[in-house]
Amino acid sequence: MKKFSALLLSSLLLSSGAQAQDSFKLCWSIYVGWMPWAYGAEQGIVKKWADKYGIDIEVVQINDYIESINQYTAGEFDACTMTNMDALTIPAAGGVDSTALIVGDFSNGNDGIVLKGKEQLADIKGQNVNLVELSVSHYLLARALDSVGLSEADVQVVNTSDADLVAAYSTSDVTAVATWNPLLSEISQQPNSTVVFNSAQIPGEIIDLLVINTDTLAAHPELGKALTGAWYDIMATMSSDSEEGVAARSYMAEASGTDLAGYQAQLAATKMFYTPAAALELTNSAQLKQTMQYVAEFSFDHGLLGDGAPDASFIGVQMPAGDYGDSGNVKFRFDPTYMQMAADDQL
Partner 1 sequence: MKRLINLTPPPASKLFLGLLPFALLLLLYVVASDARLAENANDKLLPAFSQMGAAIERMALEPSKRTGEYLFWQDTASSLKRLALGVLIAAAIGLALGLFTGALPLVHAGVSPLLTVVSLIPPLAILPVLFILFGLGEASKVILIAIGITPFIARDLQRRTQEIPSEQLVKAQTLGANTSQIMVRVLLPQLMPKLIDAVRLSLGAGWLFLIAAEAIAATDGLGYRIFLVRRYMSMDVILPYVAWITLLAFLFDWLLATLSRRLFPWNAQGAH
CB of 91 to partner 1, least distance (A): 9
Alpha-carbon span 299 to 330, nearest angstrom: 16
- Between 118 and 157, how does the x/- string for binding to partner 1 read (CB under 8 A)? ------------x-xxxx----------------x---xx
Which amino acid appears at position 112 of this protein?
A: G
* Residue 72, SS3 per DSSP: helix
Which amino acid appears at position 183 of this protein?
A: L
Question: In this chain, which stretch among 29-37, 226-234, 241-249, 297-305 interacts with partner 1, using CB under 8 A?
Answer: 297-305
What count of other Cβ atoms lies within 10 Å of the Cβ of residue 156?
Answer: 12
CB of 69 to partner 1, least distance (A): 8
Give one word for 335, left, alpha or beta, with left for phi > 0 and alpha for psi -120 to 50.
beta
Tell me the torsion sign for CA atoms 282, 284, 286, 291.
positive
Question: Which of residues 174 and 238 has its CB atom nearest to partner 1 in the complex?
Answer: 174
Task: Confirm or reject binding of residue 219 to partner 1 (CB under 8 A).
Answer: no
- The single residue among 148, 155, 158, 330 that binds partner 1, judged by CB under 8 A, is 158
- Please state whether the peptide bond connecting residue 276 to the residue before it is cis, i.e. omega within 30 degrees of 0: no
- The closest of 41, 36, 50 to 81, measured between CA atoms, is 36
Task: Confirm or reject binding of residue 159 to partner 1 (CB under 8 A).
Answer: yes
- The single residue among 1, 21, 191, 243 that binds partner 1, judged by CB under 8 A, is 1
* Residue 162, SS3 per DSSP: helix
Task: Confirm or reject binding of residue 74 to partner 1 (CB under 8 A).
Answer: yes
Task: Confirm or reject binding of residue 89 to partner 1 (CB under 8 A).
Answer: yes
Residues at the interface with partner 1 (CB under 8 A):
1, 5, 8-9, 12-13, 16-17, 66, 70, 73-74, 89-90, 93-96, 130, 132-135, 152, 156-161, 164, 167-168, 170-174, 301-304, 306-308
